[in-house]
Amino acid sequence: MAASLLALAVALLVGAGFGGVDRGAAAPVETEGGEVTYGSVIKLMHEKTKHRLHSHDVPYGSGSGQQSVTGFPEGDDSNSYWIIRPTPDSSSKQGDAIETGDIIKLQHMRTRRWLHSHLHASPLSGNLEVSCFGGDELSDTGDYWRLEIEGSGKVWKRDQKIRLRHIDTGGYLHSHNKKYNRLGGGQQEVCGVKEKRAENIWLAAEGVYLPVNGSK
């Protein structure tokens, strides 16, 4: 299964790159460490609970009614892969390293929708709802997240703790052990909160990491 997912990710990266990307660039590779780059297909692991950031084509039954986002307990589910994209006004390109303070977008690999937030209340805790929205041809600033690296590091690496802060609402991407009964499988709520907490911290986990370009 891992080999088939890798092949799928490579096909997506080569066939659906950013505008202006050299499609003859170096092939994607899986790494145990090193820098996280634009265009990589990764899973984000919640540090506190070890759940992966996850989505699927199931709408919320309240709030926005958009595609739901959860924390998933297993590391081998293909619905937990996200493609890291720059914002349209950025000069960053596929393979560039990502620095603290950069604004990024996360595109759900399977449904092509964007990790999104807004002022709707999340279903279980009443915090800021986090959903998936839009698609390849539809996106807005509700899909923008600022990378904040914990500690002194400037460039995002796989072993670094990070936070993602939503541009429009100021909420940090957050999860906790509040579980959904209707979804099953031990899936837990993902939401946004405006305070820095231990439950805001994430790590880059499994994925296909593009080799880093030269200087940006």
Residue 18 lies in a domain: no
Residue 81 lies in a domain: yes
The H or E element containing residue 144 is: none
Domain that holds residue 66: 37-208
Residue 7 lies in a domain: no
Residue 101 lies in a domain: yes
Residue 32 lies in a domain: no
Integer angstrom CA distances of residue 51 from 43, 64, 75, 174, 207: 10, 24, 8, 11, 15
Task: Going residue by residue through the chain, which has 216 residues, state the pLDDT in tens, using 9 for 90 and above.
Answer: 444 444 455 454 444 444 333 333 334 455 555 999 999 999 999 999 999 999 999 999 999 999 999 999 998 899 999 999 999 999 999 999 999 999 999 999 999 999 999 999 999 999 999 999 999 999 999 999 999 999 888 999 998 999 999 999 999 999 999 999 876 678 999 999 999 999 999 999 999 999 998 654
Residue 29 lies in a domain: no
- CA 95 – CA 216 distance, rounded (Å): 10
What domain count does the chain have? 1
Burial-class residue 194 by CB neighbours within 10 Å (0-12, 13-18, 19+): middle
Q: Are 131 and 64 in contact (CB under 8 A)?
A: yes
Q: What is the 3-state secondary structure (H, E, C) of 71-129?
A: EECCCCCHHHCEEEEECCCCCCCCCCECECCCEEEEEECCCCCEEEEEEEECCCCCCEE
Q: What is the pTM of this model?
A: 0.87
Which amino acid does the sequence have at 99?
E
Identify the CA nearest to 51 among candidates 138, 161, 175: 175
Q: What is the CATH number of the domain that holds 49?
A: 2.80.10.50
Residue linked to tokens 């499988």: 185
- CA 126 – CA 119 distance, rounded (Å): 10
Residue 104 lies in a domain: yes
